[in-house]
Amino acid sequence: MDITAALPTFLITLREGFEAALVVGIVLACLKKAEQSHLNSWVFSGVIIGIFASAILGVVFGWLIEGIATSEHPYAPVLGEFLEAGIGLFAITMLSWMLIWMTQQAKSLKAEVEGAVKAVIEQNKTAAGWGIFGLIFIAVLREGLETVIFILATFQQGIIPAIGAILGLLVAAGLGTLLFKWGVKINIRLFFQIMGIFLLLIVAGLVISVLKHLDAGVGLLAQINPNYVGFCLTEPSSCLLGTLVFNAHNFLPDKQFPGIVLKALFGYRDQLYFVQVISYFLFLITVGGFYLQEVNGKATIASKPEKTAS
């Protein structure tokens, strides 16, 4: 069994799970402060149903993908490649947006959640319970959906990626418990900065995979139907990716150690084409630039001394 298949899912669920744990912890703390702890059961129900709904979505998408893969329709392989590319592109968009948005909202997250909880508990008991449930359910489902889409985008199958996801959730829940129940000091900003760098590199690896699936899909389409041969723009090396510019398959393959670890954590591939290399660094420069700009901005604001009243 390949334990490295668990690394990306572990890191993704750790980050996403801890983000959800922060929301849950803030809500529980607000309810305790407002002497409304009788609503805690709605919080835990929201967590459980949110996780369950995310898993159901993953199973449904998995069945769809498996159905296409086992189909005997002549265009099924083409559709499969394009579906993988589409899911990968969706995952890139969601995770990139989440990475930048969470960094932007980090300072106001606590205030926003506390404001939402305050508004909810001012309603009658039943409405307040459903309001708390909805707040938690949406938070957990959002993070769970991002994780499910990532796993589908990487098309990791088997028990090992699932174990990585479960371990990530358990560690995230443990960190949340240490932070809110036991009062252990955790540098949350540093945690999200480190995890953000890992996430950025993992998503950059998805860019390479998406381009590979697009290229494979167009190549298969051209083979099945000669009318689409003109879509292959950079033959003979590939249809869409240009020439092969990096080949380490003989001395650092991405399916063996340590290449497989580099692939899991940093998006390494032992064969790269021109368009893949350009797209990889373009993604890091653009999305990574926005992310680092937000991180540096927050660090500057946080370190700026407050003015004392004269």
> What does the DSSP assignment read for 100-111?
HHHHHHTTTHHH
The residue behind tokens 């002549």 is 74
Indicate the pTM of the whole model. 0.78
pLDDT of residue 186: 74
Residue partners of 253: CB distance under 8 A and separation at least 6: 259, 270
pLDDT of residue 63: 83
pLDDT of residue 231: 79
Kindly give the parts of the chain with pLDDT less than 70: 1-3, 5, 104-109, 154-158, 183, 297-310
pLDDT of residue 307: 46
Residues 161-182 as b/e (b if ≥16 CB within 10 A, e otherwise) read bbbbbeebbebbbebbeebbee
